[in-house]
Structure 1
Amino acid sequence: MSKVKKQQDKNARKGQIRIISGQHRGRKLPVLLADGLRPTTDRVKETVFNWLMPYIQDSNCLDCFAGSGSLGFEALSRGASAVTLVELNKAAAQQLKSNKSLLQAQQMQVIQQNALAFLQQNQERFSLVFLDPPFRQGLAQQSAELLAAKGLTDDALIYVEMEADHNQQAMPSHWQLLKEKIAGQVIYRLYQNSQQPKCTI
């Protein structure tokens, strides 16, 4: 294979995400286009962050199954005080670290680890969590159960994205569903970790 062809193949596996609003508004970041990594579309992301707008400032955010980091970097740009990105794929995690450096994001940490293992070991409590796991593996329910056990503040907000035709994964009974939408083959929901929701989203 020629050097030109190799370079073309390498470039073909790169994409980019765009930060919609906040400190880094309009900034485009390179991402790895690996199998199973699905950056949340701008349309969905804009809707979700409109829901979350009053609650991002100073939040302690976890982007589980971070992939491209699209949600975590958006939260960072909009004023989250701390953002943790967890991603198993080694190359994707390295790209997240590179993008963290590009933005000089001292309040962000990138952890290359299996997300379920991270949640089992985690001792921190997060006020905002993004769960966008690989499809058709039941990971949304598994990670939600682990989060509910010890990983959330009392009124934490949890965004969950899953495939629309496989959306019966049960969330913890004390998570209150605040919002729900379908976009193509994806269903996305916003929950609150509280018996009495305090949000008026």
Structure 2
Amino acid sequence: MRIVSGTHKGRRIHPDKNFKARPTTDFAKENLFNVLHNLVDFEDLIVLDLFGGTGGISYEFASRGAKSVICVELDHKHFLFIQKTIGELELDQILPIRSNVFRFLKTCHQKFDMIFADPPYDLKDLESIPDLIIEKDLLNAEGILIVEHSSKNDFSNHPSFMEKRTYGSVNFSFFQCSAKKE
């Protein structure tokens, strides 16, 4: 696993071999960030990374100049790995939070420019994530939610759905609050 671009471009991240998280592939991550490069200005971006896993998406946003990144991860070993890596890379704009994502979303009152969710593909409540975020009004105007998922999920009928991108076996669905879409 590596950081694709920015100030830490090319840096390799090495989680333990017994790590349970499924990191976003470098191929999918590179393509996703190429798309995002045309949609957003990374500097001053306020990001929420849900189901942080290895922290790879958080490191990528921080490396590209995001102002702040909150990375939410429940698993204790994964959380410690994220904390350690943040320290090693000196990515002080990342705030790791050890919490259940659904509990965090219910109590969160901050708004974000970008929310990225990479839940386990077999998560029972995966399809409820866009509704939770939109109902809680967690996106700033023009804010974007991206949900990583398998091909089994189809969000195309969701009222806030924008588009889907597929890179190998990785699918990204993009959402924006429908009231804010042009």
* TM-score using structure 1 length: 0.81
Is 1:124 the counterpart of 2:110? The answer is yes
Distance 2:10 2:119 in 1: 26
1:142 aligned residue: 128
Distance 2:172 2:161 in 1: 14
In the alignment, is the contact (CA less than 8 A) between 1:176 and 1:197 conserved in 2?
Answer: no
Which deviates the most, 62-71 or 189-198? 189-198
Could you give the per-residue CA deviations for residues 107-163 of structure 1, whole angstroms, max 9, x where no partner exists?
A: 110011111110011011011111110112243322222211221112111111111
Distance 1:108 1:186 in 2: 25
The match for 1:86 among 72, 78, 85 is 72
Deviation of 1:69 after TM superposition, in Å, equals: 1.1
> What is the root-mean-square deviation of aligned Cα atoms in Å?
1.9
**Gap runs ≥5 in structure 2:** none
- Secondary structure at the aligned position of 1:31 is classed as coil
Task: Go from structure 1 to structure 2 and tell me whether the alpha carbon gap of 1:98 and 1:38 turns closer, same or farther (over 3 Å shift).
Answer: same
- Secondary structure at the aligned position of 1:38 is classed as coil
In the alignment, is the contact (CA less than 8 A) between 2:150 and 2:169 conserved in 1?
Answer: yes
Deviation of 1:169 after TM superposition, in Å, equals: 5.2
The match for 2:142 among 149, 155, 168 is 155
1:3 aligned residue: none
Distance 2:118 2:158 in 1: 16
1:8 aligned residue: none
Task: Go from structure 1 to structure 2 and tell me whether the alpha carbon gap of 1:85 and 1:146 turns closer, same or farther (over 3 Å shift).
Answer: same
Kindly tell me the number of residue pairs found equivalent between the two proteins: 178
Point out the structure with max Rg over C-alpha: 1
Deviation of 1:170 after TM superposition, in Å, equals: 7.2
In the alignment, is the contact (CA less than 8 A) between 2:114 and 2:145 conserved in 1?
Answer: yes
Deviation of 1:92 after TM superposition, in Å, equals: 0.3
Distance 2:157 2:85 in 1: 32
**Gap runs ≥5 in structure 1:** 1-16
Q: Which has the higher contact order (CA 8 A, sep 6+)?
A: 2
Distance 1:171 1:39 in 2: 27
Distance 1:81 1:23 in 2: 14
The match for 2:3 among 9, 19, 23 is 19
- Larger fraction in strand: 1
In the alignment, is the contact (CA less than 8 A) between 1:138 and 1:169 conserved in 2?
Answer: no
2:53 aligned residue: 67
2:25 aligned residue: 41
Could you give the per-residue CA deviations for residues 10-63 of structure 1, whole angstroms, max 9, x where no partner exists?
A: xxxxxxx2111101111112224433x111011100111011114122110011
Task: Go from structure 1 to structure 2 and tell me whether the alpha carbon gap of 1:186 and 1:21 turns closer, same or farther (over 3 Å shift).
Answer: closer
* TM-score using structure 2 length: 0.89
